[in-house]
Each structure stands twice: as C-alpha cells, then as structure tokens.
Structure 1
C-alpha cells in the first residue's frame, strides 16, 4: 500500500439525540471525496475515536467505506485497552476498511517491549495494514520502530510529538533497515503549520483536519508545498493556518472541536463534540467564521 495526497480525517456527526448519524457522515465523506484526498481515516482523532462505543465505531467505519466506494483507501482507528483495540481491528475488517491507524494506549506508559507486544497482538488479530501513531504518552525509540516495521502488517508510522530530532533518527533507521516503501506521516495538530520541517526530514505525508471544512485551501496548501511554491505556502500559513492555530490553542480539545464547528459553519449540521471536549464559545465561533470567509478568498 502506498498513499499520496491530502489525508482526510472526517468528523463523526451526531444527531439531535446524540447518536451517530451515518447518513450525514456519508454526505461529509462524499463531499470531501470530490476534492481528491489520498485516503480517508474514519473514527480516528478528528472523528472522536475516544468517544465512540464499539458498535458506533463499526457504524462510522462502515459508513465511510460505503461513501468512498473503493475510490481511495479507508483506515479506521484502533487503540486504547488491548482487547478494545483488537475488537476495533475485527470490526474494521468486517466493515470493509483497508487499514488501521494504531492510536496510543490510554493512560499507562509501557516500555519498548510492551509497545512491541501491544502492536504484535493487534497485528495477530487482523490482516489489515497498520500505521503506528506516536503521541501523548507513547514514544518509540528508533530501534523499536525498526523492530515493528519488519512486521509485514506494519506499513507506516505517524508522529504527533513534534520531536524532529527523534523523528529524523526514526526515519533514517527505518530507511536503512526496512527500505523506502515504509510510510511516514506528520500527525501534529494543524499539520500544515509544521509540514515544511517534516518534509525536510523525509516525512512527506500528513493529516489535514482543515480538509474537513476548507478542502480547497487544504488542497492548495498541499499543491504549494509539493511544487515548492514558497510564496503561496507562506501566504496560506500567514493568513489562515497561523491564525487558526492561535485560535485552536485557546482551549484544550479545540483541535477537534473547531474542526467540527467549521463543518457546521459550512452548512452540514454534524452536531457538537462529546465530553470531555467542549464546543467553541460564541466569540471563538465568530473568529472561526472570519477565518473561513477569508479562506474562500485564498483558495
């Protein structure tokens, strides 16, 4: 499996009763699909994986698979307690997913051997390709990533820590031991802000939450950084992404809540976020609306 282009992480819509709305999710995914993403990652961070029960999880992944219709690969999240992650793997396979993003285990910090055992158990539970995700309390040593990258099921590694020195060592170690086909992803919040640095150390892929509500802008940024159009990339950062990051940093959890609010402002009533996240205040919604209106002129 080889991915390219903007990676789309759709939000998970909830209806007025708080239930997952599979129909709205399908509409959301189809709208994004028209802008040509390289893959769809459903029920992951932006999709509130942490807030879904296992039946809701399967509903979300199945709805995304159905909406995509085989046009691009679909990944589902898998993480938390090992039995839950293994059940996610089984449900994602049943739903027709093409791969899994292995989200960090919750709360506890295990040693390298424990992380290896976690991934090995998950790999044994599914035939789906796995992309590992380093963030929060999960920190992989380069030697651990090399060890896991040699498993046939492990095809990629995503970084959400922002430690570029560590990530460079991981990239170099894996390239030397495993080869060039292994995929590396920038998984930092609002990844466009850091993608030039990641690209320079050999990490060409990144997740774009902005694609959920401003796909034209997301695609324009990807085109600029891929073609070396520095003037365009710098303008997009200065006039949209940097102000969005400043707003995002106002409240913990806004990396998801603002994205979902942006989808609502675009006219798709996907509902709010589930606790412990909170929806944006009216003042922050007003600022987000200004940024979205400005984005239309930039794209």
Structure 2
C-alpha cells in the first residue's frame, strides 16, 4: 500500500439533532480530494472515534469509501474495548475500507505481550491489514514491534507518543526485521510541527489534521517538505503551525475542536464536537480566524 501525499483525517460532521451528517461528510471528503491526499482516514482521532457507536463507525466508513471511490486508500479506525475494536474491523471490511488504524485499547494498561495480542486479535478479525498506533496506554517496545512486523498483516507503525529515542529504536528494529514494505508515520498532534525531526528518524509519513480544515495550507507545507524548500517550510511553521499549536494547547481536546471550528468558519456546517470535547469560545474563534488568514497568505491563496 502506497501513500503518496498528505494523509487526510476527516472530521465526522453531526446534524443539529446529533446524528452523523452523511451528506456533509461526503462533501468534506470530495472537496479535499483535488488537493491530492495520499490516503483518507475516517473514524479516527480527528473523526472523534472515541464518540462513535459501532453503527456510526459503519456509516462514516461507508460514506468515506463511497466519496473516495477508489482514488486513494481508505484506512478506518478500530480500537477501544476489544469487542468494539473487533466489530470496527468487521464493519470496515464490509464497508470496503483498505486497511485499519488500530487505536489504543480502552483505559486499561496491559503488558507488552497483551498489546501484541490485542493487535493480533484485531488483525485476525478481518482480511484488512493493520497499522499500529503507538499512543496513550498503547506503548510498544522495539522488540514488540519487531514481533508484530513478522506478521504480514501488520503493515505500519504510527507514533503518537513523542519519545524520539524509543521511536528510533522501533524504526531500527523494523528495518532489521527485513520488512521493506513497512509504513512509518508521525502521528503527533499537529504533526507538521515535528515532522522535520521525524524525517531524521526515518519516519517519512505524517498525519495532517490541518488538511481537513485548510488543505491549501497543508498542501503548501507538504510540497515544501517534499521538495526540500526549507525557507518556505519554516515560514509556514512560524506563521501558521506554531500559532495554531499555541491556541490548541489552551484547552484539552482542541486538536479536534479547532479543526471543526475552522471548517465552520470556512462555511461547511460540520456541527459541534461531542462530549467530553468542547468547542472554542468566541475569543478563541477570533484567534483561529487570524491564524488561518496568515496561513492562507503564506500558502499564496
């Protein structure tokens, strides 16, 4: 599986009644496809996986597959309680997804052997390949990732922990395993801010929540990153991404809330976030609007 372009993590739009808005979701996805995403990741972190029922996961992934129509890979979220994760794997396969991103298990912290068993159980629940998400209570070691890399259904590793020493050990272990098809992702919040460092670790791919909100800005960063235009990349980091991160860090959960707010500012009625997340205040919306304006200016829009 190849991801050639920005990795797009769409939000999950909700109607005023609180249900998934399939029409807006499809519009959200199709409007971003001309900007060249390398893959679409519905019902994942930016899509509020934590707040979706299994029926809603089915609805979201089905809509995403229909909207993408085979243009790029679709990778669906699966995780939480083991039974829910297995159900997510099955409905994603039924919906036509190409792979799974396995988010952390619910609440409990198990030993490494238990985490490996969790990934293997999700991988066995469908025919879809899986990407391991290293984050929160799902902390993998280099040895455990080498074990998982021996399973051909495990095709990738996404680091959302931020321990660069451990990430380097894991990259080295996977490289030593002989896998040449293994995908390595930077999955930290607002990953553009750290991607220069992650490229140095041998992790070339990254999640982009910003692409969901402002694809022109995210694509300008990606193009500068790929072409080696460091002056432009740093201008976007200093003028857009760093201020966005400072705003994001004001309130827990704003890694999702600000993206939805930015979409609403742009005229797409994606609705609010679900509890326990909260939407920005009016003052924070003013700040976000200013940050976006600067980003568009730097992107040349």
TM-score, normalised to structure 2, is: 0.98
Pair 1:298 & 2:301 matched: no
| 8 Å CA contact retained: 1:7, 1:37 | yes
Could you tell me how far apart the structure 1 residues matched to 2:5 and 2:110 are? 33
Tell whether the 8 Å contact from 2:58 to 2:92 is kept in structure 1 after alignment: yes
Aligned residue in 2 for 1:193: 193
Between the aligned partners of 1:181 and 1:91, the Cα distance in structure 2 is 26
What is the alpha-carbon root mean square deviation over aligned residues?
Answer: 0.7
In structure 1, runs of 5+ residues without a counterpart are: none
Distance 1:90 1:270 in 2: 27
CA contact (8 A) 1:132 1:156 kept: yes
Shift >2 Å, 4+ stretches: none
In the alignment, the residues of structure 2 paired with residue 126 and residue 116 of structure 1 have an alpha-carbon distance, to the nearest angstrom, of 17
Aligned equivalent of 1:215: 215
The 5 Å alignment of 1:25-104 reads: 25-104=25-104
Q: Are 2:274 and 1:281 equivalent residues in the alignment?
A: no
Show the 5 A alignment for 1:112-151: 112-151=112-151
Aligned partner of residue 189 in structure 1, secondary structure: coil
1:265 correspondence with 2:256: no
8 Å contact kept, 2:157–2:185 = yes
Q: How big is the shift at 1:120?
A: 1.1
Aligned to 1:160: 160
- Give distance in 2, aligned partners of 1:138 and 1:57: 21
Mapped contact 1:150–1:178 kept (Cα < 8 A): no
Is the contact made by 1:65 and 1:95 (CA closer than 8 Å) also made in structure 2?
Answer: yes
TM-superposition CA deviations, 1:195-245 (whole Å, max 9, x none): 000001100000000001110110111111111111001100000000000
Q: Who is 2:9 aligned against?
A: 9
1:101-158 Cα shifts (integer Å, max 9, x gaps): 0000011111011011111111111110100001111110001001011111100000
* CA contact 2:149–2:179 (8 Å) conserved in 1: no
Shift of 1:4: 2.3
Contact 2:257–2:278 under 8 Å retained in 1? yes
Q: Do 1:4 and 1:205's aligned partners in 2 also have CA atoms closer than 8 Å?
A: no
Q: How far is 1:291 from its partner?
A: 1.1
Following the alignment from structure 2 to structure 1, what is the Cα–Cα distance between the partners of residues 25 and 12?
Answer: 6
Aligned to 1:247: 247
Distance 2:158 2:169 in 1: 14
| Partner SS for 1:165 | helix
Superposed displacement of residue 179, structure 1: 2.4
2:107 aligned counterpart, secondary structure = coil
Aligned residues: 299
What's the secondary structure of 1:42's corresponding residue?
coil
1:161: how far off?
A: 0.6
Deviations 1:244-273 (A, max 9, x none): 000000000000000110111111000000
What is the TM-score when the length of structure 1 is the normalising length?
0.99
The answer to whether the Cα contact below 8 Å between 1:244 and 1:291 also exists between their aligned partners in 2 is yes
After alignment, is 287-296 or 161-170 more displaced? Answer: 287-296
Unaligned runs of 5+ residues in structure 2 are none
